Amino acid sequence: MDSILASIVIIIIGVLYGIVLFKVLIPLLTRFKFGQSIRSEGPQSHLNKKGTPTMGGLVIILITIFLNVTLILFNYKDTNMNVYQIILLIIPFVSFGVIGFIDDYLIIVKKTNDGLKPHIKFLLQLLISAVCYYLTIQTRGTNEINFFGERIDLKFFYGIFIILSFTGFTNATNLTDGLDGLLGGTSAIITTGITVLAFINKNYYVMYFGLSLLTGIFAFLIFNLPKARIFMGDTGSLAIGAALFSMLLCLNMDVLIFIFGIIYLIETISVMLQVWFFKKTSGERLFKMSPFHHHLELSGLKDFQIDVIFWIITLICTIFACILGVRVF
């Protein structure tokens, strides 16, 4: 009971700590003109968001790491520590955040939407994903995938699956980060679901990491709900995507990412369909704009209305994924 009360107090302190950091960071970023660049071909309603401070993901990362360490220190007796599992959660979370930070910084310096060169960014993501595959194997000791209760040995193909899924999912969360409160809200719901699964499976380290991440996201959402005072940037969107997938890898429930992250898949598929249709028809568009949230935006829906729709879909998928995680895995 004492450890539970201590954890609650630490989380509350974490939220307050995050609020203070954002209160300090927002005017600081504004002063140094670390503002968001807006694509000229994007929705016209986004033009008034130009100059809004970005890279808020830095605070999410700081809060998550700080709280994670603190919670473990207060509950170390209850935490089934696994060094590879710890590294599997921290390394991709921070590394993808660093890639995002470099990308955001270059965009700000250049005053355009050209950050890291796409092939360099992609290669870095593949490299980190390969490291995550190695850590996964060290954690589990096998190439078996838990496919809804059936353990299938994919041998080296499991490595291909992990690397492509990790890279694809982090980019999918990045694509979704296009409206105030959208990625923050959906990722908070998914993080809650995975944290519950970790608690049920008595994987307390993943649970503490999830609680820490959730605290950082909540602190961010206070300043990111419409009308946003700060954006998370690629710093946050890539880090969050990596964190969510890493948590499921640690629980040996990686295939559930396709249910938890159905919204991110829809967003990604909408972009792919838009490109395919544009080339197929020599210039016609399937959607008014992609990703799909921009299509809804141009169809007349407000930011918060789109947020609520996506949050509800994510909540339904999260509940379904949690039921599968408890009953099947």
| pLDDT band (50, 70, 90) for residue 44 | low
Burial class, 308, CB count within 10 angstroms (exposed 0-12 / middle 13-18 / buried 19+): middle
Which amino acid is present at 279? K
Rounded Cα distance, 48 and 303, in Å? 14
Q: Write out pLDDT tens, residues 134-188.
A: 999 988 888 999 988 889 999 889 999 999 999 999 999 999 999 999 999 999 9
Q: Quick one: which of 235, 302, 250, 292 has its CA closest to 268?
A: 292
Instruction: Assess contact for 67 and 11: CB atoms under 8 A.
Output: yes
First vs last C-alpha separation in the chain: 29
Closest CA to 194 of 284, 293, 76, 321: 321
d(CA 71, CA 58): 20
Q: What pLDDT, in 10s, does the model give residues 32-43?
A: 877 776 665 666
pLDDT band at residue 226, thresholds of 50, 70 and 90?
confident
Q: Is the peptide bond before 227 cis (omega within 30 degrees of 0)?
A: yes
- Which residue, chain included where needed, has tokens 């890639």? 99
* pLDDT at 142 (0 to 100): 86
Name the most confidently modeled range: 62-71, 135-144, 217-226.
217-226
- Our CA angle for 118, 89, 148, nearest 5°, is 95
Residue 207 has pLDDT above 80, yes or no: yes
Strand partners, 42: none
For residue 2, pLDDT beyond 60: no
Burial class (CB in 10 A: 0-12, 13-18, 19+), 303: buried
Amino acid identity of residue 244, one-letter, is: L
Per-residue pLDDT averaged across 305-327, rounded?
Answer: 97
- Predicted confidence (pLDDT) at residue 261 exceeds the cutoff of 80: yes
Q: What is the mean pLDDT of the chain?
A: 90
pLDDT at 73: 79
Per-residue DSSP letters for 108-148?
A: HHHTSS--S-HHHHHHHHHHHHHHHHHHHHHHHSS-EEEET
Residue 127 has pLDDT above 70, yes or no: yes
82-119 tens-digit pLDDT: 788 889 999 999 999 999 999 999 988 776 677 889 99
Which of the residue ranges 42-51, 146-155, 191-200, 203-212 would you say has the lowest mean pLDDT? 42-51
Question: Given this model, what pLDDT does residue 48 score?
Answer: 72
Q: What ranges do the domains of the chain cover? A: 2-256
